Amino acid sequence: MAIIDRKSNNEKRNKRIAKNTTLMFLRMLLLTIINLYTVRFVLKGLGVIDYGIFNAVAGVVTSASFISAVLALSIQRFFSIALGQEDEERLKTIFSASLNIIIILSITIIILFETVGLWFVSTQMTIPAERMTTAISLYQCSIFVFFFSLLQIPFTAIIFSHEDMGVYAIISTVDSLLRLALAVIITKISIDHLVFYSIGLLVESGIVSLLYIWKGGKYEECHYTKTKDKILYQHLLQFSGWTMFGSLANMGMNQGNTILINLFFGPISNMAFAIAMQISNAFNALSNSMVLSFRPAMMKAYAQEDFLYMTKLFNFSNKITYYILCSIGLPIIVEMRTILYVWLGRADEETIYFAQLMIVFTFLLALNNPITTIVEATGRIKEYHVAVESITLLTIPITWILFKSGFPSYIVFL
C-alpha cells in the first residue's frame, strides 16, 4: 500500500512539475519581451546622460543584489527539506530565523550604504554638478528598493518550496508590467524624469513586496515566533556563506576575464565580450527558470529518502533543460550574424565568435544546475564549492598564460 501511495504521489508531483515548467518557460519568454521594451522606453524617457547616471548610481546598490539571490536559494532549501519531512514546527522556526537574519542583514547593509556608499557616490563618481542632488535622491530610493527585495525573501522562498510557481509567475509578470508602465509614463511627463522614475521604482517595489508577503503569508508557517535555535542559525549562515562563495567565484571569473581581455585586446574586444555576456545572461535565466521547477521536488524527495524518484527528476530536469536550450540556442548560433546585425546594426567576427561560444558554454553550464541542487539537498556544500570554485578561479591565471602566449581572445571560453 505504501508503494502504491508513493507512486500516486509521484504522479501528482510529475503533473505539477510539468505545469510549473511550462509556466516558468512562458513567464521567461514574456518577461524577456517586456524587458526589451522597458529598456527602450527608459532610455527614451531619461536620455543618454540621465540613463548613464541611473545605471551608475543604482548599480552601486544593485551590485549587492547577489546577496538576495543567495539568501533566497538557501532559505528555500531549508523550507523544502522541512516540507519533505512534514515537520510543521521546523518550518515555523526556519521562517522566524530567516526573518531575523534578513532584518539584521538589512540594517547592516543600509548602514554601509548610508556611510561608505554615500561617500563613494558623492565624492568618487563622475556626475554632473547640476544632477548631484538628483543622483543622491536616486541613490536613497535604490537603497529602499534593495531593502524591499530582502524583506520579501522568506515569502518568495516559501512560495517556491510549496511549488506554487503560478503565484510567482503572476507577481513577477505584474512587476515587469508595472516597470514598463512606469517607463512609458516618463516619456510623457514634463517633470524631472529621473526623480519621478526613482520614486516610481520605490513605490513599485513596495507594491510587489506586499504582494509576495500577502501570498506567502497565507501559509501557516509564515507567522513570526521568537526562536533561539543557535544550531539552525549556524546552519543557515554556513549554507548561505558557502553558496555566496560560489557566486563570488563566478563573478570573479567573469570580471577577471573582462579585465584580461581589456589588458591584452582593448575596448573593442571588451564590447564583444559584454554583448556575449548579455546573451549568456538571457540563456542562464531561462536555464535557472527550468531548474526552479524541479528544485523543490528534488529536495523533498531527498528529505523523504526517495532516492529513486530524485534520480528520475535529476535525469528529466537535465533532458528538458538541455532540449529547450538547444531548440532555442542552436538556431541562434547558426544565424548569429543576422541576429546581431538586426539587434545591434553591426556584426563583426569577434562578437560572433564570442556570442556563439558563450551559448555553447551556457549549454554545458546548465548541466551543472541539477547536480548543484542534489548537493544542496544533502547540505554538504562546503566540499563541493571548495572543489568546483577552486577550478573556476584557476581559469583566470590559465587565461592570462594563454593570452600571454599569443592565443586569440575567444580562447577564454575554451
Q: Which tens digit of pLDDT belongs to each residue from 379-398? A: 889 899 888 888 888 888 99
- Give me the pLDDT at residue 413, please: 75
How far is residue 111's CA from residue 116's CA, in Å, rounded to a whole number? 8
- Give me the pLDDT at residue 296, please: 92
DSSP 367: T
Set of cell numbers at residue 232: 539552525
- Give me the pLDDT at residue 5, please: 55
- Give me the pLDDT at residue 272, please: 84
Set of cell numbers at residue 148: 524591499
Amino acid code (one letter) for 190? S
- Give me the pLDDT at residue 283, please: 87
User: With a cut of 70, which residues of the chain have pLDDT below it?
Assistant: 1-8, 414
- Give me the pLDDT at residue 25, please: 87
Answer for the pair 135, 80: CB distance below 8 angstroms, yes or no.
Answer: no
- Give me the pLDDT at residue 76, please: 94
Amino acid code (one letter) for 354? F
Instruction: Please name the residue that has the C-alpha cell 506554487.
Output: 164
- Give me the pLDDT at residue 59, please: 82
Between the alpha carbon of residue 198 and those of residues 64, 164, 182, 300, the distances in Å are 18, 31, 10, 41
How far is residue 118's CA from residue 122's CA, in Å, rounded to a whole number? 6
- Give me the pLDDT at residue 330, please: 93
How far is residue 159's CA from residue 217's CA, in Å, rounded to a whole number? 9
Count of CB atoms situated within 10 Å of the CB of 192: 14
3-state SS class at 196: helix
Set of cell numbers at residue 144: 529602499
Q: Which tens digit of pLDDT belongs to each residue from 292-346? A: 889 999 999 999 999 999 999 999 888 888 888 899 999 999 999 998 888 777 7
